[in-house]
Structure 1
Amino acid sequence: MDFDKSSPVVIALAKEFMSAVCRIAPTWNRAFWRFESEEFRFGSNASYVTPDGVFLVSAMKESAMYDALNALGRQLWDCEPEPKKRFCVCLLGIENSFDYEIKFEREDISKWRITKIDGKSGIPDGL
C-alpha cells in the first residue's frame, strides 16, 4: 500500500466515522465499520456499542454517512499499487477515546462480518 497516499484517507475515514457515531449515539463506547471491495462491487456496514448494547447503523437513516465512507473506502482500495494485492475487506475500529485501528484482509472476503443474523452480536466476527 502506498502509505503517502493512504494515510490521509485513513485519517479522513476515522474522522468521518467518529463524527457520525458521536451524532448517532452520544453514549457510544466502541464502533466498527467494515468495507468490502472487489473490482466492480463494494459496500459497507457498521455497528456501535453503548451501555445499552450493540446496534447496527441503519443504511436507510445514515445513507449520507455510508456514501461518504464508501467513497473514502474506494479511494483507499485504489491506493493499492497492484490490483492482485488489493485488500478485499478492511475493518475500522474506533474508541470513544478517539483511538482507532484499521485492519486489512486480502484473501477472505467473509472476514470480520458485522451482523445480528443467527444470534450474532453485531461485533465483527473474530474480535
Structure 2
Amino acid sequence: MSDESAKYIIELAKDLFATMRVQNPLWQVAYFRYAKFIGSTSASASYRTACEVELLSVFQHTEFFRRAKNLSDNIFLSLDKNTGMFLLVINKNLDYSVEFEYEDPDKWEITKRNGASGIPIGYEGK
C-alpha cells in the first residue's frame, strides 16, 4: 500500500467514524464496502450495536457516501488498480482494518436480503 492510498484510507476511516457517532452513539463496529468493476461501482455500509446490525442508508447519508465514493476512487487510483473492492472495518475506539479483493465481485456483500445479517458476507474478523 502506498503512502497516498494510506492517506485516503485514514481519511475515509475518520469520516465513517464521524458519521457513526452521529448515526447511533451505541454503535460498536462499522463496515464500509466499495466495489469497482467494469461498468459499475457500489458502496454500502452497516454497523453493529450490542443488540442489532443496521444498514447505513444512502438516502439519509448522501454526503458521507459522496465523500466515500471520491475517497474510494482515489484509493484505487493511488494503487494503480482499475477494478476490485475493499472492506473497511472500524470500531468505536478508532481501530480499523482494510482488506482488498480483486477477483470475487460478490465478496463481503453488505445486505439483509435473503436472511443475511447486514454484517459483510464471509467476513471473519471481529
Distance, in Å, in 2 between the alignment partners of 1:39 and 1:80 is 17
User: Which structure 1 residue ranges, 5 or more long, are not aligned?
Assistant: none
Looking at structure 2, the residues matched to 58 and 4 of structure 1 have their Cα atoms a distance apart, in angstroms, of: 31
The counterpart of 1:102, out of the listed 98, 105, 126, is: 98
- TM-score of the aligned structures, taking structure 2 as reference length: 0.92
1:59-98 matches, within 5 Å, as 59-81=58-80, 83=81, 86-98=82-94
Does structure 1 retain, via aligned residues, the 8 Å contact 2:55–2:118?
A: yes
CA offsets, 1:12-58, max 9 Å, x none?
01001100011101100001000011244222000001123000001
- How many residues are treated as equivalent by the alignment? 123
- Asked if 1 retains the 8 angstrom alpha-carbon contact of 2:38 and 2:83, the reply is no
Secondary structure of residue in 2 paired with 1:23? helix
What's 2:117 paired with? 121
CA distance in 2, matches of 1:104, 1:34: 10
* TM-score, L = length of structure 1: 0.91
- For structure 2, the 5+ residue unaligned runs are none
Report the aligned-residue RMSD. 1.3
